[in-house]
Amino acid sequence: MVILALGSKKILKEMAQHLLPEYTLNTFYLAFGVLLGSTMLGVASALCVSIFEFKARQWWEWALLLPMAMPAYVLAYAYTDFFQFSGAFQNFFRNTFELEGRLIPEIRSLPGAIVVLSLCLYPYIYLLTRSALLQRSHHLLDAAQLLGLSISKQIVKVILPLARPSIAVGITLVLMETLADYGVTSYFGVATFSTGIYKAWLVMDDKLAAAQLASFLLVFILVVVILEKQAQQQLRFVGKGQRLGTQAPRIQLALKGQIIASLICALPLLLAFILPVAILIASIYSTTLELVWTNFIHWTINSIQLAATGALLIVSWVLILAYLQRVQSSKTLNVAVQVLNLGYAVPGAVLVVGLLMPIMTWQTYYPNLKLGYWITGTSLGILWIYFIRFSSVALQSVQGAYQGVPVSLDESAQLLGVKGWAIFKKIHWPLLRPSVLAASLLVFVDVMKELPATLVLRPFNSDTLAVAAYQLARDERLAEAAVPSLVLVLVGLIPVLLLSKSDQR
């Protein structure tokens, strides 16, 4: 794809003059705003539930994960329906207080995209920051108290610096998700690299320009991945140091402090989950949706078939790869696993262009092979994209489970005459089964919610719930888009509940 992208200096020059400045600035402003907003929400809420003791703290601790179930584009549809000029929010205030005109800024804008993505992505930072804060050492805070530091100064000078590597990892994850976003930025009309790739490919029919934009975005992603790896190395180092000593107890808050902490936790949960779910439910009950219900079963079946097939193929391959890495680890295999782990960081738009560009070239020289049909006319192309993007999700879960299986079990089995794949069947599989089920559910949910690649590569007449919601919202049929959107939210609750259950353990 990069070679093809560098093939036309003329197009590259035109893009540098007219498109790249706008795409670069919008992408920068979007990324900076989302990082600022999600960091403020994630760190503040993590501090409240980790450092302080207040009423319903344990409930807030897992409830703050619920926005992870909300796809960003679903939140965008719900907020547009509610906050737009003709929406319920502005109509209520105009009718109640006899006001006229627009009362709030347009939600479908760059600031609106920043707010929506910040609300949906803050749980990444919250989760990692909370884990780091729970490991804080008692003796460090005792030393800070002996030096006369107040609670606020202890947080700023001791607690947050120790959690800085975890916060950095969360920030890089948020940044990768922001750069890869297509649903929100496309619906809000924000010109970023992701939307520019699809515009060049589908609207302008300029495949070379799409490849060049994809190459620029890929460079940004590679830089972010390098920064994320460096942050993880620091995280492992700091984590070892923080485990020395006992965990510090939480600080009991007075009534005023409890109210403030509860409000800090309630704000992101209300805006990112409770309010949009209420908007979606109200939209369903307030409108006749006969057309949607007739197609709803078809969308659901397509989504389940793709998600189940993708989860089965991905988890099966990951199990084979993890087993081979355990029994005959080699440098080549380890490199292949590391490359596979990078797939989740690559945006769907880049993967689509990287797949279709060589297919088009191949089709030009060998038209009788009908390779284009097999990639775009069947589910092979989209399943390949799912395989690249979501293998790392399953791989991390399975590798984590394998770390809990002692090698001594394999050695004992070999002494008893059990060898090869029989060891996997009789020893590994019973121990790995819960983690494999969790990995399958995570991949299933990710495939259900995936939008940009599915939008381009889905076969004819095989819309999924995510694609149907996007198309209905694009046609301003927001009430009808609420039906598939709400189902996606309910499906997204599965990994959140699994995560909260594992945390309680």
CATH number at residue 25: 1.10.3720.10
Measure the CA–CA gap between 347 and 179, rounded to whole angstroms.
7
Number of residues that this document lists for the chain: 505
Mark whether 249 and 351 lie in a shared domain. Answer: no
pLDDT of 235: 54
CA distance 81 to 87: 6
pLDDT score at 434: 80
> How far is residue 253's CA from residue 158's CA, in Å, rounded to a whole number?
20
Query: pLDDT tier at 505 (50, 70, 90 boundaries)?
Result: low
Q: What pLDDT, on the 0 to 100 scale, is given for residue 46?
A: 92
Check residue 458 and give its pLDDT.
86
Q: Which amino acid, 242? A: Q
The predicted model scores a pTM of 0.84
**Domain co-membership, 259 together with 400:** no
Q: Per the domain annotation, does 343 fall within a domain? A: yes
Distance, CA of 107 to CA of 97 (rounded, Å)? 22
32 vs 354, more confident: 32
Domain count, the chain: 2
Q: How far is CA 326 from the centre of its chain?
A: 29
SS3 of 290-323: the string is: HHHHHHHHHHHHHHHHHHHHHHHHHHHHHHHHHH
Q: Greater confidence, 353 or 229?
A: 353
Q: What is the pLDDT of residue 13?
A: 66
Residue 134: predicted pLDDT = 79
pLDDT digits (tens, 9 = 90+) for 256-265: 999 999 999 9
The residue with greater pLDDT, 439 or 288, is 439
Identity at 209, one-letter amino acid code: A
pLDDT of residue 234: 60
Give the DSSP H/E element, type plus range, for residue 358.
Answer: helix 348-365
The whole-angstrom distance between residue 93's C-alpha and the CA centroid of its chain comes to 35
One domain for residues 260 and 385: no
226 and 301, same domain (yes or no): no
- Quickly tell me which residue has 């884990």 as its tokens: 131
Rg of the chain, C-alpha, whole Å = 24
Residue 273 pLDDT greater than 50, yes or no: yes
- Chain centre distance of CA 347: 11
Q: Rounded to an integer, what distance in angstroms lies between the CA atom of residue 114 and that of residue 122?
A: 12
Q: Of 52-66, 105-119, 385-399, give the lowest mean pLDDT range.
A: 385-399
Q: How far apart are CA 45 and CA 61, in angstroms?
A: 9
The pLDDT tens digits of the residues spanning 452-499 come to 888 888 888 888 999 999 998 888 888 888 889 998 998 888 878 776
The model's pLDDT over 401-445, given as tens digits with 9 standing for 90+, comes to: 787 788 888 888 888 788 778 888 888 888 888 888 878 887 888
Has residue 348 been placed in a domain?
yes
pLDDT digit string (tens) for 88-126? 899 999 998 888 888 899 999 999 999 999 999 999 899
- Kindly tell me the number of DSSP H helices and DSSP E strands found in the chain: 26, 2
Whether pLDDT at 173 is above 50: yes
The rounded distance, in Å, linking the Cα atoms of 470 and 451 is: 8
- Domain boundary at 286, 305, 323, which? 286
Specify burial of residue 359 (Cβ count, 10 A radius: 0-12, 13-18, 19+): middle
Average per-residue pLDDT for the chain: 82
349 and 423 inside one domain: yes
| Residue where one domain finishes, among candidates 286, 319, 338 | 286
From 130-139, 255-264, 356-365, 469-478, the region with the lowest mean pLDDT: 130-139
Q: Is 66 in the same domain as 148? A: yes
- Between 112-121, 144-153, 278-287, 468-477, the lowest mean confidence (pLDDT) is in 144-153
Question: Which amino acid does the sequence have at 272?
Answer: A
Same domain, 271 and 325: no
Domain final residue pick, 286, 314, 330: 286
Judgement on whether residues 147 and 258 belong to the same structural domain of the protein:
yes
Cα gap 303→301, rounded to integer Å: 5
Same domain membership, residue 224 and residue 142: yes
d(CA 201, CA 10): 17
Tell me whether residue 209 is in a domain.
no
Share above pLDDT 90 across residues of the chain, in percent, rounded to a whole number: 23
- How buried is residue 13: exposed, middle or buried, by Cβ count under 10 Å (0-12/13-18/19+)? exposed
- Write the pLDDT tens digit of every residue in 324-349: 888 787 788 888 787 787 777 788 87
Contact between 163 and 132 (Cβ < 8 Å)? yes
Establish if 196 belongs to a structural domain: no
Token output for 479: 């009430």
In this structure, are residues 318 and 334 in contact, taking their beta carbons and an 8 Å threshold? Answer: no
Of 13 and 330, the one with more pLDDT: 330
Confidence of residue 14 (pLDDT cuts 50, 70, 90): low
**For residue 11, what pLDDT is reported?**
60
- The answer on pLDDT for 224 being more than 80 is no
Q: DSSP letter string over 15-69?
A: HHHHTHHHHHHHHHHHHHHHHHHHHHHHHHHHHHHHHEE-TTHHHHHHHTTGGGG
Which pLDDT score, from 0 to 100, does residue 113 have? 96
**CA distance readout (Å), 336 to 225, 381, 396:** 16, 21, 14
Same domain? 296 vs 278: no
Residue 116 forms part of a structural domain = yes
Range of the domain at 140: 18-189+220-286
CA distances from 132 to 120, 154, 156, 194, 235 (A): 21, 15, 15, 33, 9
Which position has the higher pLDDT, 431 or 188?
A: 188
Residue 243: pLDDT over 50: no
* Residue 412 maps to a domain: yes
**Of 54-58, 65-69, 96-100, 492-496, the least confident:** 492-496
Residues 146 and 116 in one domain: yes
Judged against a pLDDT cut of 80, whether residue 129 lies above it is answered with yes
* Angle (nearest 5°) at CA 260 between 254 and 266: 130
In a domain, 345, yes or no: yes
Tell me if 5 is assigned to some domain: no
pLDDT of residue 244: 45
At 127 the three-state DSSP class reads helix
> 489 near 74, Cβ under 8 Å?
yes
Highest mean pLDDT among 3-12, 67-76, 111-120, 237-246: 111-120
141 and 237, same domain (yes or no): yes
Tokens in use for 120? 């949906």
